[in-house]
Structure 1
Amino acid sequence: MHAELPPEEVGERIAAIRHARRMTQIELARASAYALASIKAIERGARIPSHTGLEAIADALGVDPSRLTTDARHDSRVRTALPLISAAIAGYDIPMDPPNRVLPELREAIDTAVKWRVGAQYTLIAKAAPSLLGDALSTLHSSEGAAKQDAARLLAAAARSADAVAYKYGSLDLSARLVELMRWAAQQADDPLLDASTAYVRTEVFFAARAHSAGLKALERAIDAGPAPAEVRPAAARGALHMRAAVIAGRAGDASAADLHLAEARRLGDLVPEGTYDGTAFGPDSVRTHEVSVAVSLGQEHVDRALTVAREWTPPDSLPAERQSGFWIELARAQLWAGRADDSFESLKVARVIAPQHTREHPWARETAGTLRRLKRADAETLTNFAEWVGAI
């Protein structure tokens, strides 16, 4: 295995995750079909696992292989899967072969894919997405009544998980098609909360096109059309839309609208427990991460807002990995603007530990790392290595 991380760091990551899972070395050896002596050698960096062995260890730990090493082959596996995802949805409105899984099995598999998405485990999603989408489409076409609505919700969840891969890896045309598939599925489900979740994801299309003002209008229309926030789930759905609207308003340079939407998100966040989930995690901590997003979106003159949040609060481990890493990536951008280059680099490294694939594919992580590398050419090679890893040089 030709890993970009040295064997010692791969071993340290395996040991750290094992400890976090409260597993012994014996338990990891049994679960991964490795000898105990081999696990000990791998953890101290004296032995390098094979590519297949690394996947077995990652599976035993319940993480994406990229959490253990930044081997570029995981990136290639994702990109190889993108055409298969595209093919799986090409005839989404045409009934095809019967599904390979019954509805309970499909639900369990898609629930797992959703967990991978919030954990930024894109390699696992990419591998599973084509068959999940195919089975979800076949199930929807072969169902009626309430079962069809249930299948439509599952299809939307599968499409969103696949979209996380397509969007993060720059396949924007495929991402837009997956968003449209979500919208089509939402129509079949006749579910206002799913409509709200789809509107949240659709914002990616506006971000990609830099059509921020149009995206803000679309979100505000979705907020007006959504159910009243009289209960926890509708309140969370509406709050998530306000969070998203605040960020895109910031990108549009509309500070007033950004502040209004952020204030409404805070108000709704206080009404629901953190982690309330309807396609998007929502709660007080999620709103806090978006306070940094809004400040950075508004530009350098608002950098103090982002730094103030970070002085008082950092994301808890209970937040989705992708949201945690996004906080640190955006904070790194703010710290760079404030002239705090060392702090900026430390934030990028934290983001990589939390969600390496998300960090590696994030354009702001790449841009910040490239700028840091240019500003600090005489620095230790760790900065250069990071900039190479993220594709900044």
Structure 2
Amino acid sequence: MPVLPHSGLGRRIAYYRSVVRPKMTQRQLAEAACVSIGAIRKIERGERGVTDATLAAIADALGVDPGRLRSDRGPARTAVREGLPALSDVIASYDVPDEGPVRPVRELHAATAETVRWRLAAQYTRIVRRGPDLLCELARAYHQAAPHERPRLAALLVSAYRSADAVAYKYGARDLSARLVELMRWAVAEADDQLLASSVAYVRTETFFAARAYRPGLRALELALDAAPAPGAPLQAAVRGALHMRAAVIAGRSLDAPAAWAHLADARALAAQVPEGVYYGTAFGPDSVRVHEVSLAVSLGDEHVGRALDIGRSWEPPECLPAERRSGFYIELARAQLWSGRADQAFESLKTARRIAPQHTREHPWVREDAATLRRLKRADSESLTNFAEWCAAT
């Protein structure tokens, strides 16, 4: 892989680290870009160059277009997009994986849990770098395991497939996402876990969102609710509440306001029984329900938008929420603000979303649409808005 010349590159990285993200230290940049702290220091001092993939990872972490860091100003493909074919290849052979070593189950569990943390933090570059090998190894482990060991490995496959699916779905690889969802449905049947099956039903809704098949998606979630365990304990309540939360949003997309608000009310009642946390891979609790209330209000539009604005004026998602969910809140809020003629506020919300989770924000279609609209309106600072629009490829 070619290495970019380092003349001036380090100074530009240091500049954006201190200006675009004022509180970002070299160590924070290294962690966000999945690069060693020593490498960041050498790059900024001009002692070494970087590959296209490393530059893209650093740019994503800084929330700027890679072209703004390059001396030749040429285009740079992101590491995430370059990694999608490898994910596609490995799932094509899920039932006939390549031969190779298999770590103990406890180590596979730790590696899978790490991909879940990356998903929740919107660290998609890390997932595409590690995900293909992990998926292949989990498939090998599953097919080599004794029958009594397979349910646990199948559950790990579900979690790993979900992390890979998050990348595929967020980056617009809809066919790949649909295949991963089907593999999740296959694996969860082998895992024999009702709560895990409910979490898969939650994720499957992506396929209905992508197809704009909102009413069938709502029916699928309501069937999943019928099959879900009763909310007799916090874990069961959280998993059931997440299904109601998801059902509220897809009902909103179908403009079925009564069903949407009814599902949200059920989600809120269940959230009152549990602390905010991550349950079976999904964040749920009072704060998550509040985020979804904004999403629902935006989906329904018209007179409901004021509800989203009211929440945005009086509340902000706490840092304990996963980065992906917090950035989503500001993306939804920006749309409500833009629709209400609050262009400057909308731009501030989009910038906040970028600071929280640049990889999630950059690929979100609403961000591109809204940035393009803001640019036409010329209601924010021209240079910073132009930079933002170029960063997210708004047209």
Q: TM-score, normalised by structure 1?
A: 0.87
Q: Is the 8 A contact 1:98 1:139 kept in 2?
A: no
Matches within 5 A, 1:231-242: 231-242=233-244
Deviations 1:75-134 (A, max 9, x none): 532112111111111132336525442322211111111111000001110111111111
Identity of aligned residues (%): 56
Task: Tell me what 1:212 maps to.
Answer: 214
- Match of 2:273, SS state, is coil
Structure 1: gaps of 5 or more residues: 26-30, 59-63
| Count, aligned residues | 374
Specify the alignment match of 1:329 in structure 2.
Answer: 331
What is the deviation of 1:7?
A: 3.8
Q: Secondary structure at the match of 1:131?
A: helix
Contact 1:233 1:276 in 2 (8 A): no
Q: Could you tell me which residue of structure 2 aligns to residue 277 of structure 1?
A: 279
Distance 2:226 2:26 in 1: 47
1:17 Cα shift? 3.9
CA distance in 1: counterparts of 2:335 and 2:39, whole angstroms: 42
State the one-letter code of the partner of 1:126. V
The answer (yes or no) to whether the contact 1:121–1:357 under 8 Å persists in 2 is yes
Does the 8 Å CA contact 1:3/1:69 hold for their aligned counterparts? no
Q: Determine the structure 2 residue equivalent to 1:201.
A: 203
Hey, what does 1:174 align to over in structure 2? 176
Which residue number in structure 1 is paired with residue 268 of structure 2? 266
In 2, Cα distance between equivalents of 1:17 and 1:239: 36
The aligned counterpart of 2:37 is 32
Aligned equivalents of 2:248, 2:310: Cα separation in 1: 18
Q: Deviations over 1:169-200 (max 9, x none)?
A: 11000000000011111000000011011001
Change beyond 3 A, Cα 1:285–1:112: same
Deviates more, 1:243-252 or 1:69-78: 69-78
Whether 2:16 is the aligned partner of 1:9: answer yes
Please say if residues 343 and 380 of structure 2, whose CA atoms lie closer than 8 Å, have aligned partners that are also in contact. Answer: no
Describe how 1:62-101 pairs up with structure 2 within 5 A. 66-68=60-62, 70-72=64-66, 76-94=78-96, 96-101=98-103
Partner Cα distance (1:346, 1:155) in 2 = 39
Contact kept, 8 Å, 1:54 with 1:65, in 2: the verdict is no
Q: 1:218 to 1:318 in 2, by over 3 A?
A: same
Aligned to 1:61: none
Structure 2: gaps (5+ residues): 31-35, 67-74
Aligned 8 A contact 1:255 1:298 in 2: yes
Mapped partners of 2:237, 2:48: distance in 1: 47
CA distance in 1, matches of 2:260, 2:154: 33
> What SS does the corresponding residue of 1:281 show, helix, strand or coil?
strand
Cα deviation code 1:137-185 (max 9, x no counterpart) = 1111111344211101110111000001100111000000000011111
The structure-2 alpha-carbon separation of the partners of 1:265 and 1:19, relative to structure 1 and needing over 3 Å to count, comes to farther
Corresponding residue of 2:33: none
Q: Which residue does the alignment assign to 1:368?
A: 370
Q: 1:335 to 1:3 in 2, by over 3 A?
A: farther
CA–CA separation in structure 2 for the residues paired with 1:221 and 1:3: 54
Equivalent position amino acid for 1:16 in 2: K
RMSD of Structure 2 on Structure 1 (CA) = 2.9
1:253 to 252, 255, 265: 255
Aligned to 1:51: 50
Taking structure 1 as reference, are residues 280 and 262 closer, same or farther at Cα in structure 2, changes over 3 Å only? same
Contact 1:159/1:181, CA 8 A, preserved across alignment:
yes
Deviation at 1:381, TM superposition (A): 1.3
Contact 1:7–1:47 (Cα < 8 Å) also in 2: no
